[in-house]
Amino acid sequence: MKRRQFIHLALLSPLALDHRILATDSEGAHRIVTPLPDGKPHRFAFQGHDFIFDGARFQIRSGEMHPARIPKSHWQHRIRMAKAMGLNTIALYIMWNYLESEPGMFDFTSERRDFVSFIKLCQQEGMWVYLRPGPYICGEWDMGGLPPYLLRNENIQLRDRHDVNYMAAVRRYIAAMAPKIAPLMIDAGGPILMLQVENEYSSSAADVGYLEAIRDLWKAHGIDGPFSISDVLPDLKRRHAYLPGSALGLDGAEPPQLREGSHFAPHAPIWVGEAYPGWLTHWGEHEFSHKDCAEALRKVIAAGYSFNLYVVHGGTNFGLTAGANADDDGTNFQPVITSYDYRAPIDERGDPTPAYHVLREIIGGAAAEPIPPPCPKGSFADALPEPFASLWDNLPITPVQTHAPASNEQLLQQNQGLVVYRKTVKRGRQLHIDGVRDYAVVHVDQTERGSISRVHDPRLHTSPNLPLVHAGGDSEMALDILVDSFGHINFGPPLGDRKGLVGSVHLDGKPLHDWQVYGLPLDDAFIAGLKPMLTHPDRAGLFFQATVQMQKQGDVYVDMRGWTKGYVWVNGHLLGRYWHIGPQQCLYCPSEWLTTGDNRILILDLHQTKVAPVRCADHLAGTA
């Protein structure tokens, strides 16, 4: 294939588009200056395999980051960091379930949900935008961005145009989103170059009609494209789910695969929809995952292809937003850690990594703008939390009654958090529990007797069978099964697994029925209404609290290496989950959630009754 050539667009005004200069460095990589978003309408289109900006060729050099994962006060810094690498575009996912928690209840303004402001900030900083709004995104995000309320319908078929209920929700989502996106499209003077339809659809299905239906919904609401899709070449070759006329982003591809992609999109651009400078990490893995895309990126740039670094900056899965992976049959469950550092070129707190400097040289950013100064790093003195409340004292007054265990979504309309299944039974010897989603702690007569984990790890020593001490006679015992959920699976056939107990419970081989079920959603209202305890109980399932004062203002990591498994809040903000099996041991807390006065750290640990220190760390794995 003849080597591609791309145009050097040195633009001071729209008229400068007529002045085209081709320049290469000593390694043959093209130095490209792109037009800046100036608030005026422009035309972005496809011509053959090229992206075309106002009649001239354009190369997308994109880095992905997600405003939902970045403290709002740091949005501008992260965008400037990407620009200093030599990138000209920011790609971003929009997470549907972060905007619509309940049917018809949209929130576009609180916390990190104001994606419109983020996109306008990209434009202000001279960056174009590649928008990836779903409805499904994957992204190691809870349920791939789809709202878990969909799972309350027992027969829902996700990502299926023939499912009336699913498509009704999709239509509502796009109808709410389109009026906000349309004014930001490039033909309206905004920075959005193109919009992705769905994501990696060929990984699970082959219905091109579904992709066409999603595209047509956007068009019906005034967004005429251009459109793109992203897929992995082997899946695309197997299922052929290419949306006609769309740009084809091939994930993880190098020039040979990109050339092969032209068989599917003979009249549209082929580009690297996701180039991986890092990788995701799951709980229980012995080290943080990483990748090196430097050599692959050199080849892609030398061949003149456009690309998107996934991700240039990852950020954090704050709260309960982290997703999970599993094999196609739902086994080998792998929940994603709270950090989305991803070993990206810009790390979780916004600092450049060694990979940042390497990729910056390859892309050409070193000759562009200086690297922004780092965000301030804070510190606080060690603190020893005190027991504050017991989750057992904070169960709802009225339980839900059910004959057999059932999922949180269907039984309680609760997406994640904790659920207690309670029953008084005759004393037995062996308890067997099926369908734990995803972690259960068993209490007998208010004493912890063991745990069961959907994550198989030798450090946990769990199994579905728990031996119980037999006290003799026909005496009864109080059985509590406390179930803790991770995020819903976000990829592949098991997408959207339901949480809670979805199987059966047997005592000495006999099924147990007629349960009392208590939901603890761990949402803001629940935490704000915690009832403190008057005495120190010995029963696991405690909230601990500490008050710390900042020694230095800035972002911090909260070191949880002395704790077992649970959740951490700072001043009412849920940082996320921690778990002693790691590899993540510390949770990132941005400076915008901290004050110069007293700062309250609240910890819910499912196992510990003894306190351990809370320390300030240097990074997500602990103090260097």
Report, as residue numbers or ranges, the catalytic residues: 200, 274
CA torsion angle for 78, 315, 617, 580 (degrees, to 10)? -170
How many C-beta atoms lie closer than 10 Å to residue 96's C-beta?
Answer: 25
**Rounded alpha-carbon distances, angstroms, from residue 551 to 152, 532, 622:** 47, 28, 18
HEC letters along 152-175: HCCCCCCCCCCCHHHHHHHHHHHH
How many C-beta atoms lie closer than 10 Å to residue 87's C-beta?
Answer: 29
Q: Rounded to 5 degrees, what are φ and ψ at 167? A: -70, -30
C-alpha to C-alpha distance for 35 and 370, rounded to whole angstroms: 19
Token pair of 389 as six digits: 């409340």
- The answer to whether 294 touches 301, Cβ cutoff 8 Å, is no
Which position has the token pair 């306008």?
Answer: 120
C-alpha to C-alpha distance for 202 and 561, rounded to whole angstroms: 41
Amino acid at 347: D
Amino acid at 250: L
- Helix 294-302 crosses helix 354-363 at what angle (to 10 degrees)? 10
CA proximity to 322, closest of 511, 554, 128, 584: 584
Q: Strand, coil or helix: what is 79? A: helix
Amino acid at 307: F
- The answer to whether 52 touches 287, Cβ cutoff 8 Å, is no
Which position has the token pair 């200069």?
Answer: 21
Token pair of 21 as six digits: 């200069």
Q: Which residues pair with 47 in a beta bridge?
A: 50
How many C-beta atoms lie closer than 10 Å to residue 594's C-beta?
Answer: 21
CA proximity to 115, closest of 102, 127, 98, 128: 98
Q: Strand, coil or helix: what is 203? A: helix
Burial of 538 (0-12, 13-18, 19+ CB in 10 A): exposed
CA of residue 4 relative to chain centroid, distance:
35
CA proximity to 569, closest of 539, 583, 584, 548: 548
C-alpha to C-alpha distance for 496 and 470, rounded to whole angstroms: 39
C-alpha to C-alpha distance for 463 and 480, rounded to whole angstroms: 17
Beta strands in 198-262 (DSSP E): 227-231, 247-251
Token pair of 370 as six digits: 């200086």
**Rounded alpha-carbon distances, angstroms, from residue 146 to 35, 131, 475, 488, 495:** 35, 17, 47, 10, 10
Q: Strand, coil or helix: what is 589? A: strand
DSSP 563: -
Amino acid at 203: S
CA of residue 613 relative to chain centroid, distance:
29
